[in-house]
Amino acid sequence: MSSVTYDVLGIGNAIFDVLVRTDEAFLAAQAMTKGSMALIDEARARAIYDAMGPATTMSGGSAANTIVGVASLGARAAYVGKVKDDEVGRAYVHDIRAARVAFDTPAAAGGPATGCSYILVTPDGERTMNTYLGAAQELTPADIDAGQIAASGIVYLEGYLWDPQSAKQAFLKASEIAHAAGRKVALTLSDSFCVDRYRDEFLDLMRRKVVDIVFANESELHSLYQTADFDTGLGALRKDIGLGVVTRSEKGCLVVEDGRTTEVPACPVEQLVDTTGAGDLFAAGFLVGLVRGAGHADAGRLGALAAAEVIQHIGARPQVSLKDLAQQNGLPV
């Protein structure tokens, strides 16, 4: 096996976040499903923007948030995702490179604008996302650099990649290369409605061992196995995947591998401000734990710590060095 250049490489929809604090009435008036990610077109994007309050903007995208978290924890990180060469796309490239993430995917010269998500944050801290995929739809297998994938310890993929037509081919190509190089492939199920759209395909990816590690939250697990019973879902997951990690918000997480189950509590949070990125940053911490050879319990603690940091402020990217935070909390990274 050749040497590892990147501890974790993520592939996902490169999305710029437009965050706004709002109230329940706005979600109702806009007929939004609270807590979900809805795909929207340009006209709908315009209508939401016109109706919504003042925005805070920053780079986002689920796997990208995870990868920025991986870098913030001091691990070597790379990202693959498609933006357009427009003002927003250039800001996206600046931000991910400034976070010390290797990023070389060529920007699209033409076509739709860089993707963005209107993220409504209610007073309870829950986020409701409305995503215009834009240039993210232009990601193709040609954007997958075989050498880079083979040199990455873990390839991390988001379920959202199943939405753009050609991205799933990029996903499958990356998995093949990674496995041929003896690497691990991880998948986050992303969103319960996303699971609902691609349930059979996701189960197939797991059962055919296209992916080795799966991250899911409770509602995604319930959606995947169409069950309201958590233990039924967890039992099914255990059979379908080598390593499964289920996050349960303030109840912490469960890690299942073969017959073993490890339960890890959540980190205490002073004030829940915005859950955007909670799952993304949990995955960052857990993956870095794996990379560092930590056990499931410590990997889970690192995930919980990273998630706790990101939900105490607006936005899905860490505001402090997660490596420093981990060290202050006695977790080696």
Chain positions contacting its own copies, by CB under 8 A: 21, 49-50, 52-59, 68, 87-88, 91, 94-96, 98-99, 270, 273, 313-315, 317, 319-320
Minimum gap (Å) between residue 96 Cβ and its own copies? 7
Q: Which is nearer to its own copies, 54 or 110 (CB)?
A: 54
Minimum gap (Å) between residue 261 Cβ and its own copies? 36
Minimum gap (Å) between residue 256 Cβ and its own copies? 34
284: which 2 tokens? Answer: 């960052």
Q: Which is nearer to its own copies, 42 or 263 (CB)?
A: 42
Identify the residue whose tokens are 């603690």.
Answer: 301
Q: Which is nearer to its own copies, 279 or 318 (CB)?
A: 318
Minimum gap (Å) between residue 273 Cβ and its own copies? 8
Minimum gap (Å) between residue 285 Cβ and its own copies? 19
Q: Which is nearer to its own copies, 95 or 212 (CB)?
A: 95
Q: Is beta strand 6-11 parallel, antiparallel or unpaired with respect to 152-158?
A: parallel
Identify the residue whose tokens are 């991910």.
Answer: 96
Minimum gap (Å) between residue 131 Cβ and its own copies? 18
Q: Which is nearer to its own copies, 94 or 207 (CB)?
A: 94
- In the sheet with 152-158, reading across from the earlier edge strand, the strands are 102-103, 77-80, 6-11, 152-158, 184-188, 213-217, 243-247, 253-257, 260-264
Under 8 Å CB-to-CB from 154, ≥6 apart: which residues? Answer: 7, 8, 9, 183, 184, 185, 186, 213, 287, 290, 291
Minimum gap (Å) between residue 44 Cβ and its own copies? 16
Q: How far is CA 160 from the centre of its chain?
A: 9
Residue 160 main-chain phi, psi, to 5 deg:
-55, -20
H or E element that contains 217: strand 213-217
Q: Which is nearer to its own copies, 59 or 128 (CB)?
A: 59
147 in helix, strand or coil? helix
To 10 degrees, the CA torsion angle through 175, 64, 147, 94?
Answer: 160
How many CB atoms within 10 Å of residue 49?
14
Q: Which is nearer to its own copies, 186 or 281 (CB)?
A: 281
**Calpha distance 237→258 (Å, rounded):** 10
